[in-house]
Structure 1
């Protein structure tokens, strides 16, 4: 049975690495992506552990040509890309009047525009093979806003809207598109936010997790990466053919309030 191919951006750390490990464990060949200096070593280790093939690309999410080249290399090596998981993201916390314009542009570019370029690049092949799974890692901030996160909230709301459009256009070709909207996951991105939020809210760091980070979640705990990875596996499966255009909260009850 042919191995399916998953391209996962930002897959050498955090949520993306957890997703890559879960997909490799299920026999997917993986196209890894990340900017870590040891990214290729991380990819090789995961692939070797699960005896799957892999490709590593250090493509920068702000460089459309590099993204198209990553897709071209993956397609040349494996013949197709069955699953695209747009996971790479960055964050910056500041009030609107203090928000650096270069940070705004980078957050929109990495968290939203890159997903468009990659989806566009894999689309023709997915249409031709009559199968494709687009999974966008959005955020609870794709459904709700928080202060001091204007660019991130804008980007994540945008990715939810883009997901819905892709779902409609992909439906005739058995291409589904869904967004996973996690609450807070303890990743390097969130760990950095603890310090940033402490500064923004003028609180000690040891109080930020309870009073700010998890304040809106009914379940006062970080969302496990494994939960997101397992949901992504289901969305990538044949069983999820009619589940498309959804923004699925995995947020500890945040969206129930």
Structure 2
């Protein structure tokens, strides 16, 4: 039912996890895709080959403004436009209030939140030219309820959520819709270290009313929905995809 033919999508952090699931699903929906990676060069190249000419990988440092703008500009030159931005790239790590250094705080804020601002800023003029755009930011339930011992992460995702609502109104006159998908726990390699403790993983599973920790594909599906014409009257929305574990109003 969802067909993104003639659409061009940028997916950040597209070499693995939720990002890679989005790359595959958006290509399946006939969109051309440009995706970013930082460290997973061989994985990114293999995914690019797997997509049979429908996707192109770009090495981008999420802390480098020039690389972010260059990637967006190169995407427009290669594919002719940018219709959809899925900003998924980010990091997650521990950080107690008293032991967290300013450097640790700033690094995560730059990678998660500042890169959001930069990618949206880079893509918006291109979308305005075509009077069409879809921006989907991958946030987190942590950004809505907070997350003890991960306050920097929660703050970055909370900032992304407020940013979603702010620019949704700002960009609405240009037919640019801005929404967010907010997952809870997801079974991806980002959580491999945490999930190595099988007992802890089982405890997490038991807190989810639907009784399972979702796969990356189960986050990619709602993301594709928000990029499609089925969601043409939705903007400024935070779509929770957490199996009922966190019910935010």
Q: TM-score, normalised by structure 2?
A: 0.92
Query: Offset of 1:210 from its aligned partner?
Result: 3.1
Q: Does the C-alpha gap of structure 1 residues 232 and 95 become closer, same or farther in structure 2, counting only changes over 3 Å?
A: same
Query: Offset of 1:239 from its aligned partner?
Result: 2.4
The residue aligned with 2:34 is 31
Q: Does the C-alpha gap of structure 1 residues 47 and 13 become closer, same or farther in structure 2, counting only changes over 3 Å?
A: same
How many residues matched? 244
Tell me, yes or no, if the aligned pair for 1:183 and 1:250 is still in contact at 8 Å: yes
Structure 1: runs of 5+ lacking an equivalent: 196-204
- Residue 98 of structure 1: SS of its match in structure 2? coil
- Residue 55 of structure 1: SS of its match in structure 2? strand
Note if 1:139 corresponds to 2:140: yes
Query: Offset of 1:231 from its aligned partner?
Result: 1.1
Pick the structure with more helix per residue. Answer: 1
Structure-1 separation of matches of 2:141 and 2:208? 10
Query: Offset of 1:56 from its aligned partner?
Result: 1.5
- Residue 198 of structure 2: SS of its match in structure 1? helix
Structure-2 separation of matches of 1:234 and 1:227? 12
Structure-1 separation of matches of 2:230 and 2:48? 30
Structure-2 separation of matches of 1:221 and 1:98? 33
Structure-1 separation of matches of 2:215 and 2:141? 15
The residue aligned with 1:156 is 157
Q: TM-score, normalised by structure 1?
A: 0.89
Q: Superposed, which structure 2 residues align to 1:65-80 within 5 Å?
A: 65-80=66-81
Structure 2: runs of 5+ lacking an equivalent: none
Query: Offset of 1:215 from its aligned partner?
Result: 5.8
Q: CA RMSD in A?
A: 1.8
Q: Does the C-alpha gap of structure 1 residues 175 and 22 become closer, same or farther in structure 2, counting only changes over 3 Å?
A: same
Structure-2 separation of matches of 1:21 and 1:228? 12
Structure-2 separation of matches of 1:34 and 1:131? 26
Name segments (4+ residues, structure 1) moved above 6 Å: none
The residue aligned with 1:200 is none
The residue aligned with 1:209 is 201
Q: Superposed, which structure 2 residues align to 1:103-182 within 5 Å?
A: 103-182=104-183
Structure-2 separation of matches of 1:166 and 1:215? 37
The residue aligned with 2:46 is 42
Tell me, yes or no, if the aligned pair for 2:91 and 2:112 is still in contact at 8 Å: yes
Note if 1:3 corresponds to 2:6: yes
Query: Offset of 1:136 from its aligned partner?
Result: 0.3
